Amino acid sequence: MLLILLLSTILSLIVGMCLIRFAHLHERFSADHDLNGIQKFHALPVPRIGGVSIAVGLVAGCGLLAWLLKDVRVLLILLVALPAFVAGLVEDLTKKVGPLARLLATFMAAVLGYFALGAGVQRLDIPGLDYLLSQFWLLSLLLTVIAVGGVAHAVNIIDGYNGLSGMVSIFIFLAMAYVALKVQDSMLMGVCFAMVGGIAGFLFWNFPRGLIFAGDGGAYLVGFMIAEVSVLLVSRHEQVSAWFPLLCVVYPVFETLFSIYRRKFLQGRRISYPDALHLHQLVYMRLVRWMVGSKDVDHKTMRNSLTSPYLWALSSMSVFPAMLFWNNTQVLMCFVVAFMLIYVHLYRMIIRFRTPHWMLLRKSARH
C-alpha cells in the first residue's frame, strides 16, 4: 500500500509540475481567465486541468494494485469513472459543457458501475426501505445513480478555494481506507491510497500557492471515486453501516442540499442560479479578514488559502466519528443529525455577523 501511495503521489506531482511549467502551450484552452465571476476568488489566470495529474496518479496506483492482486476489477473502476472525468475535462478546456451534461455523464458512469462492478445501493439500514431495494432492482439502480451523481456534484460545489476539496477528499479516502483495512478488503484499500496519492501530488502545487486548479475534471473524478468506493464498501461488506459513507460525505452533500433549499425556498430563484452564499464563501468574506482590500496578488492568494482550514476542521467533525463508529448505525445517524445542526448554526452566526471574535482572522494591509 505504501508503494501504491508513493507511485501515485510522485507521478501526480510530476504531471502537475509539467502542466504548470508548460502552461504557455495550453493556457489558451486550460486557464481560467474569468477573474470577476461571482464565484471567482483568484487573482491571475490559472490552469484548471489539475484533474489530469490526479487521474494519472490514480491510473498508476490502480495499475500497480491490479498487478499485485491479479484482479482486473481494479481496472474496471477506472473505466467506469471515465465518463465523469472526460465530461469535466472537456468543460475545463472548452467552457461549453453545462452542469446538467456533466451530471448526466456522471449518472452514466454510475450505471456502468452498477452493472460492471455490482456497485449498487442495496441497503440503507432502514427497515422497509431495505426490503424494497432488495426486491426491485430498478429502485436500487435509480437510488445508486442519484447518490453517486449527487456526491460527485457536491464535491464539485465545494471545490472553490485552494486545498479545500482536495484535503476534505483525502480525509474521506483515509477513513474509507481504514474501514477497508478493518474488513480486509485489499482492493478498495488500494484504490483509496491511489486516490490519496493522486490528490496529494496535485495539492503540492495547489495549496497554498494556487498554481493549478483541479477543475471540473478533477472534482468530478474525485467525487465519483468517493461515491463508488462508498457504494462498493457497503455492498461488499454487511458489517459496514450504510451510514458510514453518508457521515463521511455529509459536509459536501449537506452544503449542496442546503444551497438548493436556500435558493429555491428562501430566495425564490432557480436552484442552479450562482451566488456567493456557500458556507466557504461566507468564511472567505466574513471570517478571513487577512489583507482585505490589498491588490497584491500574493495577499489575495494567501487569503484564498487561509479559508480552507476552517472547512477542513468542519469536515473532520464528521469524518473522524465516521471512522470510529463505522459499524454502528444508530451512533452514525446521531452524528449526521448533529453535523447538520452545527452547520446550520454556524451558517446563521456568520450570515448575521454574530461570529465569535476568536474565529476571525485579521491582518490589515499597510498603506
Distance (Å, whole) CA 285 – CA 361: 11
Is residue 84 very low, low, confident or very high in pLDDT (cuts 50, 70, 90)? very high
Distance (Å, whole) CA 118 – CA 113: 7
Q: What is the pLDDT of residue 367?
A: 43
Residue 115 CB coordination number (10 Å): 11
pLDDT at residue 116 above 90? yes
Are the C-beta atoms of residues 93 and 49 closer than 8 Å to each other? yes
pTM, full prediction:
0.94
Is residue 298 very low, low, confident or very high in pLDDT (cuts 50, 70, 90)? confident
Are the C-beta atoms of residues 200 and 9 closer than 8 Å to each other? yes
In this predicted model, which residue has the larger pLDDT, 229 or 39?
229
> Which range is least confidently modeled, 41-45, 54-58, 318-322, 329-333?
41-45
In this predicted model, which residue has the larger pLDDT, 10 or 73?
10
Share of the chain above pLDDT 90, in %: 78
Residue closest to 329 by CA, chosen among 251, 250, 240: 240
Residue closest to 15 by CA, chosen among 289, 206, 219, 223: 206
In this predicted model, which residue has the larger pLDDT, 301 or 141?
141
Q: What is the pLDDT of residue 33?
A: 59
What's the mean pLDDT in 311-338?
97
